[in-house]
Homo-oligomer: A and B are copies of this chain.
Amino acid sequence: MALSPLAQRFVLHFGEMGSRWGINRTVGQIYALLYVSPAPLNADQIAEALGFSRSNVSMGLKELESWRLTRVQHLPGDRREYFATPDDVWAIFRTLAEERRKREVDPTLTMLRDALIEAPTSDDDAHVQARMREMHDLIDLVTTWFGDVQRLESSTLQQLMRLGAKVVKLFEFKDRVGSGAALRGRSASAPAKVS
């Protein structure tokens, strides 16, 4: 199970990158290894390929599982568990985005909401709350929007992204044609909630 130089570069890069977010080197490397592996691997194979202790790999796999980034399967006549990553990169992207939202964004939104229902007790606090509200509204808008488009079919989402800033043209186009018929519900010209 020696890694090819190509695979090794990929794996090491993810190890380094991992530590640039909160995730640690081991976890990053294990994920990268599983991602490029042509077949699922068991924990011993991972430990050997990466030169980590068996127990470290066990920890790392548990962490990846908590991010919903692994699939587990069994081979016939083998009791060991074999690990792989989901195949579809768009599915992986969605999962990652969702988990990060849950861990990094939601707690902040909650804190902001809690703080915003209290009555300010001074002018300074009124200012603090005003700033908190600006942040809250931005985060709220961005995450709601993100959750919204994320639920689209991968192919639709890709179309949309390829369009890039040109969606705005569509926008103007619609206004020119002058029909709101295609857009029921939340309107493009709803009153601004964000500063």
Contact = CB atoms under 8 A, between A and B. Distances in A.
Interface of A: 4, 6-7, 9-10, 13, 17, 19-22, 35-36, 38, 88-90, 93, 103-104, 107-108, 111, 115, 118, 120-125, 127-129, 131-132, 134-135, 138, 141-142, 144-145, 148-149, 151-152, 155-156, 158-174, 176-177, 179, 181-183, 185-190, 192-195
Contacts of A7: 124-125, 128
Describe A's contact surface by its main secondary structure.
helix
How often does this chain occur in the complex, in copies?
2
Nearest to A130: B36
Given A21-B22, A22-B19, A36-B128, A165 B149 contact: yes
Given A4-B122, A188-B163, A195-B89, A171 B170 contact: yes
Contact of A170 (B4, B183, B186): B183
B35 A4 contact: no
A171 B171 CA distance: 10
